[in-house]
Amino acid sequence: FIAMAIKIKTPEEIELIRKSCELLSNTLAEVAKILKAGATGVEMDKFAEEYIKSHGGHPSFKGYNRYPASLCISMNDEVVHGIPKTDVFKDGDIISLDCGVYMNGYHGDMAYTFGIGNVRADILQLMRVTKEALYLGIEQAVAGKRTGDIGFVIQDYCERQHPYKCVRELVGHGVGKTLHEDPQVPNYGRKGDGQKLPENCVIAIEPMINLGKRDVYTKRDNWTIATQDGSPSAHFEHTVVVKPGKAEILSTFEGIEKAVAENGDLVKI
């Protein structure tokens, strides 16, 4: 493994990534307004693509390694990279929506896991803990710390303080002119391991946490990653700027959570 250079962003570049993240956050908040039992992934994807394009952005994922859609929609035992389908969402489903926006030369990347109607209590707890793990990881995204410090707190919280398992095959990453840049940001690891985080680098932190075992496989569509034991999996992601003392979060769940609170079909976590 060769540690590649981590790109440090100028203030101007950070403002452009912030703009992409704003449109991205608004996009997922708008999707959260129409997400309900009976809706389909294909409908959500079409809506997201049109919203992004009509606001001057481009969906980052569409065409990335020939990925066919603007959203990744991963349901229940699916971890990430689910391709939007025509199947209807059902009461009790959990649905991870992952999206990227490219605008003015820079990407933003974020994900949120939603619950439809009566979601099992143990699955709601998995969702809560995954979101909390993301914010614990963000607390470690300060200048001078290492990627392993982020991975350590996420793994410690999910696997030692709770009975969950962190997926290891997929990682967070740098974000900028390309969707995936150095460094890789694993959701497990040891304090002090990995690349050192410089001030003003921009990274996406994205814990993928399983209720059962950590093992995953790729489905026959060659994209969807799912748990081997069929257990549910949750995924939350923010794009953040590494700063001394405290990271700055460029994406926001505020609009999403307002929409969830006002959408009677979704459950608050």
Cβ neighbours around 63 below 10 Å, total? 12
Query: CB within 8 A of 46, min separation 6: which ones?
Result: none
Does 49 help bind ligand MF3 (rule: CB under 6 A)? no
Does residue 251 contact residue 99 with C-beta atoms inside 8 Å? Answer: no
Which is closer to ligand MF3, CB of 13 or CB of 98?
98
Rounded distance between C-alpha atoms, residue 215 and residue 211, angstroms? 11
**Among ligand MF3, Co ion, none, partner that 10 touches (CB below 5 to 8 angstroms by kind):** none
**Of 58-66, 137-145, 241-249, 257-265: span binding ligand MF3 (CB under 6 A):** 58-66
As separate numbers, helices (DSSP H) first and strands (DSSP E) second, the chain gives 5, 16
Cβ at position 227, least distance to ligand MF3 in Å: 17
Which is closer to ligand MF3, CB of 93 or CB of 206?
206
Does 204 help bind Co ion (rule: CB under 5 A)? yes
Q: Which of positions 225-244 make contact with ligand MF3 (CB under 6 A)?
A: 237
Does 241 help bind Co ion (rule: CB under 5 A)? no
Task: Out of 6, 29, 72, 75, point to the residue binding ligand MF3 (CB under 6 A).
Answer: 72
CB closest to ligand MF3, residue no: 61
| Beta-sheet pairing, 233-235 with 71-75 | unpaired
Does 182 help bind ligand MF3 (rule: CB under 6 A)? no
Does 169 help bind ligand MF3 (rule: CB under 6 A)? no
Does 78 help bind ligand MF3 (rule: CB under 6 A)? no
Best CA proximity match to 242, nearest among 208, 205, 207, 206:
205
Say what angle helices 121-139 and 147-155 make with each other, to 10 degrees: 150
Give bridge partners of residue 165 from the DSSP assignment: 210
Q: Which of positions 95-114 make contact with Co ion (CB under 5 A)?
A: 109
Calculate Rg over the CA atoms of the chain: 17
Q: Tokens for 125?
A: 């707890």
Say what angle helices 11-34 and 254-262 make with each other, to 10 degrees: 10
Does 206 help bind ligand MF3 (rule: CB under 6 A)? yes
Does 65 help bind ligand MF3 (rule: CB under 6 A)? yes
Does 32 help bind ligand MF3 (rule: CB under 6 A)? no
Q: Where on the chain is the footprint of Co ion (CB under 5 A)?
A: 109, 204
Q: Where on the chain is the footprint of ligand MF3 (CB under 6 A)?
A: 61, 64-65, 67, 72, 81, 98, 100, 109, 173, 204, 206, 237
